[in-house]
């Protein structure tokens, strides 16, 4: 059988493959980007599902419009105008099957083989996988503590046929870093006169537990702006409900066409149910409970890392979101570390799949949101024991 270059050159999801082997109750997993299931509002969702059926009858089971349920799109528009002053309408929003579909649609609409995509390095592996299907040229730019490296970004912007820049400005996946206000302004100044789309993927933005909310880089200021959002991290990931926000009418028309060809429309039952949940419950109070939970879990993991890890391991200290990023400075690659960790039933994600061209890196991602305090400490202890057995690398 002859397969397309698109699929042959697209890597399988490292995380999905890890999850297959971490189902064992004996494995402590810091690998998946899984919201804590205790945060799912089960009873309220059950009520919302029943209410959606009672109010709308057969409509919740029928085909629907491609761009999504209008009342839900209006709810999203009102929220983003209230919180971010974007000046958008419901027509500037298209509902997607998770934000992962939004990534695929953007690449389908914008990328011809060989066209350029500027990516954070390290960058979200789900985006790398989705974009690779369109056979782009990746131009990675180092993600520093404050945001993208500006010198590298300038070089990347000069490359041929660059179509868009992909960023996760708040509590980035995989590093947990957040772009500073100054770096956001500097990036906008560099791109504001260029015919390049800036994508700001923001699934974690509401999950801030330290610091102040910051404005988007380009949203609300440029029509070459795209914001991606999701209800996966604040309500339920299983309903697979995300959205694209953009005031670029031509772009949104093409995205709608691509979505029609992909799946006609996103699960309409989920759209009705989520809308009923959002409009009949104190959503902000619910999110605040998640924030408190994740802050405590983050604090526990950081405290454990400080207590047990050797000093030659560096790690980020996120202000929100679900991840932190560790760097080994002992001569060991993260893949070597991963193999040793799995032998003691602890899983994490080695850094390699977060890079478009690097291999055998010394970085790794740790998720803290899906483990109890006791499990977090025990997992970190096991990892620390491995690291302390490694001889210090001689330079």
Angle at 176 between CA 316 and CA 359, to 5 degrees: 80
Packing angle of the helix pair 150-157, 181-191 (nearest 10 deg): 20
d(C-alpha 290, C-alpha 269), whole Å: 25
* Token reading at 383: 């990892």
CA distance 66 to 256: 7
> What's the CA gap between 225 and 361, in Å, rounded?
32
Coil, strand or helix: which one is 359? coil
Distances (CA, A) of 79 to 84, 187, 206: 8, 25, 12
Quick one: pLDDT at residue 394?
44
**Residue environment code for 62-91, b if the CB has 16+ CB neighbours within 10 A, otherwise e:** eebebbbbeebbebbbebbeeebebebebe
| Both tokens assigned to 196 | 């390049």
pTM of the model: 0.94
Q: What is the pLDDT of residue 15?
A: 64
Domains recognised in the chain with CATH numbers:
5-40+285-388 (3.90.1150.10), 62-280 (3.40.640.10)
302-351, pLDDT tens digit by residue?
999 999 999 999 999 999 999 999 999 999 999 999 999 999 999 999 99
Average pLDDT, the chain: 94
Find where tokens 């060991």 sit. 332
The confidence score (pLDDT) of residue 395 equals 41
Tokens of 302: 């950081």
Residues of the chain where predicted confidence (pLDDT) is lower than 70: 13-23, 391-395
């Amino acid at each position: 059988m002859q397969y397309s270059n698109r699929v042959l050159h697209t890597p399988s999801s490292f995380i999905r493959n890890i999850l297959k082997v971490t189902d064992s109750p004996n494995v402590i997993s810091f690998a998946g980007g899984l919201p804590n299931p205790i945060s799912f509002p089960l009873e309220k969702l059950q009520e919302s599902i029943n209410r959606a059926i009672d109010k709308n009858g057969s409509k919740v089971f029928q085909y629907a419009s491609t761009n999504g349920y209008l009342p839900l799109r209006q709810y999203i528009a009102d929220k983003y105008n209230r919180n971010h002053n974007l000046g958008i309408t419901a027509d500037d929003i298209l509902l997607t099957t998770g934000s992962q579909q939004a990534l695929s649609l953007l690449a389908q609409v914008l990328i011809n083989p060989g066209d350029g995509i500027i990516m954070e390095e390290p960058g979200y592996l789900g985006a790398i996988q989705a974009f690779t299907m369109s056979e782009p040229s990746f131009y990675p730019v180092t993600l520093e503590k404050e945001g993208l490296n500006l010198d590298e970004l300038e070089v990347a912007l000069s490359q041929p046929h660059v179509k868009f820049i992909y960023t996760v400005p708040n509590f980035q996946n995989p590093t947990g870093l957040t772009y500073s206000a100054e770096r956001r302004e500097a990036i906008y100044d560099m791109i504001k006169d260029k015919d390049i789309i800036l994508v700001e993927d923001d699934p974690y933005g509401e999950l801030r537990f330290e610091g102040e909310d910051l404005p988007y880089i380009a949203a609300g200021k440029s029509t070459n702006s795209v914001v991606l959002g999701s209800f996966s991290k604040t309500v339920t990931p299983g309903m697979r409900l995300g959205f694209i926000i953009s005031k670029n009418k031509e772009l949104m028309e093409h995205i709608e066409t691509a979505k029609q060809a992909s799946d006609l429309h996103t699960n309409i039952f989920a759209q009705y149910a989520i809308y009923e949940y959002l409009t009949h419950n104190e959503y902000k109070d619910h999110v605040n409970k998640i924030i408190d939970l994740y802050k405590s879990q983050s604090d526990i993991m950081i405290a454990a890392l400080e207590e047990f890890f050797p000093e030659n391991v560096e790690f980020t200290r996120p202000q929100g979101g679900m991840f932190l990023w560790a760097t080994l400075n002992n001569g060991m690659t993260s893949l070597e570390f991963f193999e040793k960790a799995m032998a003691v039933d602890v899983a994490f994600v080695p850094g390699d799949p977060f890079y478009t061209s690097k291999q055998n890196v010394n970085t790794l991602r740790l998720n803290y949101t899906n483990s109890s305090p006791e499990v977090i400490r025990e997992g970190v202890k096991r990892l620390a024991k491995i690291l302390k057995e490694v001889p210090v690398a001689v330079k």
